[in-house]
Structure 1
């Protein structure tokens, strides 16, 4: 619904971004053509791997 704060992880080769309204962190794996979706009870404003 509302994609925000994209972050490309060069080491892992993944794109991280949040869907604020849906309360999700999404991780796109272009090499595999797949996406992981992590849901939360509250809105997520940003996420950057550490």
Structure 2
């Protein structure tokens, strides 16, 4: 079973970005920044659908 998190801790990523984030080629601060942007955009997208 994978790591579980709340729905608000998730983010939608395209295949390329997901691979880049998972591959480990980014510095920790770059990966965190990328995830933060993706999480904010995902939350805004979900809110717009509601």
- Compute the TM-score of the two structures, normalised by the length of structure 1: 0.26
Based on CA coordinates, which of the two structures has the bigger radius of gyration?
2
Greater relative contact order (CA < 8 Å, ≥ 6 in sequence):
2
Higher strand share: 1
